[in-house]
Amino acid sequence: MNGQDLEERVANIEQKLEFVVTRDELAEVLRSLHLRFDKMENRFDTLENRFDTLENRFDTLENRFDKLENRVDANSVRLESLTAQFNSFRDEQRLANEANGKAWEKLDGQMALAEADRERLFVKLGSIETALENHGISVD
């Protein structure tokens, strides 16, 4: 074995050693990448669970909002009904007050006429009494 063969063998061994080191380094890099991917997968799973939780909460809030919206709609219908009833009652009261006012005016007019008729009646009765007394008839 000469020096050149020895140098070639040493160079060949160095290359193999480099390959072994590189292969070991690559294996370590791959293990590290696998660990990182596992951590990322766990984080993704955690984020996915959080997202699902948020989605459930959103659905719950949406259901509550729908219920509130239904209540508002029902209350609006009730309010419209009560408003219509109040307007109807108000119109009835206005008509009743107008009719009542007219009735009082009519009654007042009739009372005035009755009072005038009564006074005329008393005047006539007084003149009849006077006429009877003038004829000698006593009226008590």
* C-alpha–C-alpha distance, residues 125 and 116, integer Å: 14
Q: How far is CA 20 from CA 15, 16, 30, 34, 95, in A?
A: 9, 6, 15, 21, 109
**pTM beyond 0.75, yes or no:** no
Identity at 15, one-letter amino acid code = Q
For 60-117, the pLDDT digits (tens) are 989 988 898 888 888 888 888 888 888 888 888 888 777 777 777 887 788 888 888 8
- The whole-angstrom separation of Cα 107 and Cα 111 is 6
Q: How far apart (Å, rounded) are the C-alpha atoms in residues 81 and 74?
A: 11
Measured distance between the N- and C-terminal CA atoms of the chain, rounded to whole angstroms: 183
Higher pLDDT, residue 56 or 93 = 56
